[in-house]
């Protein structure tokens, strides 16, 4: 293998070293799912904001009731009632779940555990203790306290939690915007007829689905004719529009493979080109300012392998997220041979116990990828693996097991 080829680990390290966090933006909680917060977030109120009943029943003063045994029902507090009340001695207030407990009361008795006789309340609750069914003001969080720390992921629960402490917007790292440039004069859109020499264009479909699955919503597609001038112009426009530019095809050594030259003509600094791996050997990675360019080798299975192994973690890193495929070790179902000197990513199937390589591994074929739920990583220095030998597998995102 010529010396400009680098290892998979070197490629990973170089990408990680060159990716920069995107600048935080102010986002509505409604649009914050999956983002990471860039600053500590402070509660805007006590939660609960007042002493609150957790049951439908009667608010009482526990010690007062202990002293007299019988209470007179006085008034009612519904959830949302905003007029403050004070519980007089020897009285109980009818109350409902979520309502503000009157000052002077410290306990709520469930309505199932009382007898009401006219306006007299008889409590028949042997397990009643002071403070039961009473949520003290600020017992979840006090106003001004840190609700979530910088670096927290906005899950449905954390979004709900922040809304509950009075937050409307947060400062978060956005997801990158992505431009996808398709190269290749032989490409035809699905739905149209093929003439001899044409193939259906599929990379935009696979990448669109993969990017959306990763939460990227700003995706623009471009097509370029196979000329240096055309591709140089399209890359310029894409770099203007997006944080990340993904090209498919045109990174190899053919006479019409213009990606390297067109990137250079746009002052994209080449960080690497070519990895000792299969598929995706001619992967290109470059940088212009904070923007990054991946030249994905055009074969459809190379595009997807390189996306999962290199692009997806980079997209995550820009948004302060870990999005690399989940890695596990699993025993191989059968023995395998491979070329030494290349890391191989095989389309595989993991049944929860062992991993098997699927048929049809060539990079122009997607039939095996379509059935795979993992990539099996075989190490550069190895030429064979035996049955049951432990290997590293990378679970594809659609696999939940």
Ligand X SMILES: Nc1nc2c(c(=O)[nH]1)N[C@H]1C(S)=C(S)[C@@H](COP(=O)(O)OP(=O)(O)OC[C@H]3O[C@@H](n4cnc5c(N)ncnc54)[C@H](O)[C@@H]3O)O[C@H]1N2
What residue ranges bind ligand MOO (CB under 6 A)?
278-281, 297, 299, 302, 363
Q: How far is the CB of 390 from ligand MOO (least distance, A)?
A: 25
**54 contact choice in ligand X, ligand MOO, none (CB below 5 to 8 Å, kind-dependent):** none
Of 299 and 368, the one with the shorter C-beta distance to ligand X is: 299
Nearer to ligand MOO, 135 or 281 (CB): 281
Which of 17, 253 has the CB closer to ligand MOO?
A: 253
Q: Which run of H or E residues covers position 171?
A: strand 169-173
Least Cα distance to 252 among 298, 294, 187 occurs for 298
* Chosen from ligand MOO, ligand X, none, partner binding at 257 (C-beta under 5 to 8 Å by type): ligand X
Looking only at the bridges linking them, the beta strands covering 71-77 and 91-95 are parallel
- Least Å from the CB of residue 310 to ligand MOO: 13
Contact 391, 385 (CB under 8 A): yes
Provide, rounded to whole angstroms, the least separation between the CB of residue 244 and ligand MOO: 20
Kindly tell me the burial class for residue 362, based on how many C-beta atoms sit within 10 Å of its own C-beta (0-12, 13-18, 19 or more).
Answer: exposed
Q: Which is nearer to ligand X, 176 or 280 (CB)?
A: 280
Residue 223: Cβ-neighbour burial (10 angstroms; 0-12, 13-18, 19+): middle
Choice between 174 and 184, CB closer to ligand X: 184
Least Å from the CB of residue 334 to ligand X: 25
DSSP classification of residue 268 = P
β-partners of residue 221 are 180
Which one of ligand X, ligand MOO, none is in contact with 186 (Cβ closer than 5 to 8 A by kind)?
A: ligand X
Nearer to ligand MOO, 273 or 281 (CB): 281
In the complex, the smallest distance separating the C-beta of residue 283 from ligand MOO, rounded to whole angstroms, is: 8
Tell me the β-bridge partners of 42.
146
Q: Which residues bind ligand X (CB under 6 A)?
A: 182-184, 186-187, 199, 201-203, 248-254, 257, 281-282, 297-300, 302, 363-364
Residue 86: contacted member of ligand MOO, ligand X, none (CB under 5 to 8 Å, by partner type) = none
| Closer residue to ligand X, CB minimum distance, 203 or 354 | 203
Burial of 231 (0-12, 13-18, 19+ CB in 10 A): buried
- The C-alpha atoms of residue 359 and residue 198 are separated, in whole angstroms, by 25
Given a contact cutoff of 8 angstroms between Cβ atoms, the answer to whether 379 and 346 are in contact is no
Q: Which does 316 bind (CB under 5 to 8 A by kind): ligand MOO, ligand X, none?
A: none
Cβ neighbors of 317 (< 8 A, separation 6 or more) are 16, 19, 21
Nearest approach, Cβ of residue 219 and ligand MOO (Å): 23
Question: 345: which 2 tokens?
Answer: 């990513």
The CA distance from 167 to 398, in Å, is 33
Chosen from ligand MOO, ligand X, none, partner binding at 107 (C-beta under 5 to 8 Å by type): none
> What is the smallest separation between the CB atom of 240 and ligand X, expressed in angstroms?
22
Choose from ligand X, ligand MOO, none: what does 174 bind? Cβ within 5-8 Å by kind: none
201 binds, options ligand X, ligand MOO, none, Cβ within 5 to 8 A by partner type? ligand X
Q: Could you tell me the smallest distance in angstroms from the CB atom of residue 210 to ligand X?
A: 14
Residue 131 vs 254, nearer CB to ligand X: 254
User: At a CB cut-off of 8 Å and minimum separation 6, what does 123 contact?
Assistant: 58, 60, 65, 71, 109, 113, 114
């Amino acid at each position: 293998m010529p010396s400009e080829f680098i290892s998979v680990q070197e490629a990973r390290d170089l990408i990680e070293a060159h990716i920069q966090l995107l600048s935080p933006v102010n986002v509505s909680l409604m649009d914050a799912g999956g983002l990471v917060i860039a600053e500590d977030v402070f509660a805007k109120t006590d939660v609960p904001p007042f002493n609150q009943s957790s049951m439908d029943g009667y608010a009482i003063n526990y010690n007062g009731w202990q002293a007299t045994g019988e209470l007179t029902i006085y008034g009612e507090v519904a959830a949302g009632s905003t007029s403050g009340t004070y519980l007089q001695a020897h009285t109980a207030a009818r109350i409902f779940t979520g309502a503000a407990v009157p000052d002077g009361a410290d306990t709520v008795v469930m309505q199932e555990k009382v007898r009401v006789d006219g306006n007299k309340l008889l409590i028949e609750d042997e397990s009643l203790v002071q403070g039961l069914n009473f949520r003290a003001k600020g017992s979840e969080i006090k106003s001004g306290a840190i609700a979530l720390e910088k670096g927290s992921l906005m899950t449905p629960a954390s979004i709900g939690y922040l809304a509950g402490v009075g937050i409307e917007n947060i400062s978060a790292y956005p997801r990158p915007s992505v431009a996808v440039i398709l190269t290749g004069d032989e490409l035809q859109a699905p739905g149209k007829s093929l003439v001899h020499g044409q193939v259906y264009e599929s990379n935009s479909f696979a990448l669109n689905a993969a990017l959306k699955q990763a939460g990227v919503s700003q995706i623009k597609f471009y097509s370029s004719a196979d000329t240096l001038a055309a591709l140089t112009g399209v890359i310029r426009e894409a770099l203007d529009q997006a944080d990340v530019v993904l090209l498919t095809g045109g990174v190899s050594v053919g006479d019409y493979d213009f990606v390297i030259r067109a990137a250079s003509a746009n002052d994209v600094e080449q960080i690497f080109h070519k990895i000792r791996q299969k598929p995706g050997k001619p992967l290109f990675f470059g940088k212009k300012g904070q923007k990054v360019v991946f030249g994905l080798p055009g074969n459809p299975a190379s595009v997807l392998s390189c996306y999962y192994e290199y692009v997806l973690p980079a997209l995550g890193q820009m948004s302060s997220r870990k999005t690399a495929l989940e890695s596990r070790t699993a025993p191989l179902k059968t023995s395998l041979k491979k070329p030494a000197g290349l890391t191989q990513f095989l389309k595989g199937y993991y049944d929860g116990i062992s991993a098997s390589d699927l048929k049809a591994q060539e990079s122009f074929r997607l039939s095996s990828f379509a059935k795979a739920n993992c990539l099996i990583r075989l190490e550069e220095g190895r030429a064979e693996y035996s049955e049951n030998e432990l290997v590293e597998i990378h679970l594809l995102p659609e696999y939940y097991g």
